[in-house]
Structure 1
């Protein structure tokens, strides 16, 4: 799995954790090991620009996903997934820091970035949360992945609840 993490945000982030949780999420979703992913952390002005350009919404957001080859997890255990370019996940650490601090169970910016990385991976794989049943499926899967990674890393407690709407 080729995963590139670039931090252009101006804040120090735990790039290793972002890389590790992205790799864990893709393995858990059974994405081909030769697939490629890019994760970019940007500052608020850059995220505001992307949010307006691609979603026609003002202000910054926490995470955006830009799929390339529209890869999907295999539907059967015996199905071999194809390799490909997953796409880009763009994170905004400044927004993540605020969201983490304001969450019902307050947590660090890096913990929020880990959650947002998994959220971005799931969007790249075609998951969405517009409808209630989609939201239940996506956020349940997100929690299972983050909890599994946290357990594997020896981190205490369950993953924080999603802070995005």
Structure 2
């Protein structure tokens, strides 16, 4: 899956985490691994311009989505699911997200992860105009974020344990899977 990040916001963000949460969400939603997504981070002035131009609403917003392709286009009749696609752009404004994060009592990173998943869901046709749509979209958004955080924590814990194993084994000159020489010495 190709996920490109362009940070033109002037705010330092964890771009690898944005790629990770995007890739995870798209994978969980069954999007073709050859699909392409662009995540743009913009400053307040640029986001305000987009918001006015495309939504006819004043001021900046936190996230906007600009879909590129319909997911069901360019498929052969015998294909089981949607083919690769240019999904589109998720545009984030970290300055607006920072204020929202402060009000919500969590970090800017957490807010940007949430907004990224939110934007992806919009690209895929989810909306929150009607109360039932809002409930379904926000439940899915929260489920995806919870699953990604759990996956990320498990992966990090596994990496820490593997690093400890490598350090311990390296200290005694062993490679993983080799028998320990102490056990062999005791047999003599």
Structure 1 residues 30-50: Cα deviation after superposition (integer angstroms, max 9, x where no partner): 000000000000000000000
Q: Size of the alignment, in residue pairs? A: 148
For 2:39 and 2:101, locate their aligned partners in 1 and report how far apart those are by CA, in whole Å.
Answer: 19
Match of 1:75 in 2: none
TM-score, normalised with respect to structure 1: 0.87
Tell whether the 8 Å contact from 1:36 to 1:85 is kept in structure 2 after alignment.
yes
Match of 2:100 in 1: 99
Deviation at 1:81, TM superposition (A): 2.2
Match of 1:36 in 2: 36
Deviation at 1:82, TM superposition (A): 1.2
For structure 1, the residue ranges without an aligned partner over 5 or more in a row are 73-77, 156-165
For 2:109 and 2:83, locate their aligned partners in 1 and report how far apart those are by CA, in whole Å.
Answer: 31
TM-score, normalised with respect to structure 2: 0.77
1:85 equivalenced with 2:92 (yes/no)? no
Q: Which runs of 4+ in 1 moved over 3 A?
A: none
Match of 2:127 in 1: 128
Deviation at 1:154, TM superposition (A): 1.1
Tell whether the 8 Å contact from 1:35 to 1:84 is kept in structure 2 after alignment.
yes
Match of 2:151 in 1: 152
Which is higher, the Rg of structure 1 or of structure 2?
2
1:1-165 alignment runs, 5 A limit: 1-71=1-71, 79-103=80-104, 106-154=105-153
Match of 1:162 in 2: none
For structure 2, the residue ranges without an aligned partner over 5 or more in a row are 73-78, 155-188
